Amino acid sequence: MKAILFVFPFVLAVAYFPISQCQNLPLIEQTCKQTPYYGLCVTSLKSDPRSKTAGDVQAIALIMVDIIKAKAGGSLQHIEKLKQKYPALRVPLSACKDRFNAIIIGDVPQAVEALTKGDPKFAVDAANDAALEADSCERGFSGKSPITQMNKLNHDISIITASVVKMML
């Protein structure tokens, strides 16, 4: 009986220790609250295991840039498939390919460099441009886009990234 009394506070403390600390949620939530797409921000970050140990906004930003890169890469692959499926959309799909390519070889390296070398404003530019490229890809279809969801996702993730980096300025 005495042992249980002795042990119980410990158990209570453990019971009320939120598992969320292990997932680094305060930083993620705090950061995502200041972006225009809170839900997407949280789910994107949580899907990346590195977010559990991210220590500051810069680390979060780097994860987001990696997500931009991954999504853009996936988008490129998808576009290649669609070119076979919709030969009539070859022209706008090719334009989209160029745009996502620009994200991967231009925006992403600039963002990573800016964040790691210490001049984050250039990462804001790069992330904003990534959003613009996704938007422009979508516009190329004059309303008949087969990849609207994909473009929106790329756009929104980029906007989230830009707003995260802006917190560092």
Give the angle 19-42-114 at the CA atoms, nearest 5°: 115
Contact by Cβ (8 Å): 130, 103: yes
Q: How far is the CB of 88 from other proteins (least distance, A)?
A: 14
Closer residue to other proteins in complex, CB, 65/163:
163
Q: How many CB atoms lie within 10 A of CB 91?
A: 10
Q: How far is the CB of 12 from other proteins (least distance, A)?
A: 8
Q: For residue 47, give the H/E element and its range.
A: none
Closer residue to other proteins in complex, CB, 59/95:
95
Closer residue to other proteins in complex, CB, 10/53:
10
Q: How far is the CB of 60 from other proteins (least distance, A)?
A: 15
> At residue 48, what are phi and psi to the nearest 5 degrees?
-105, 120
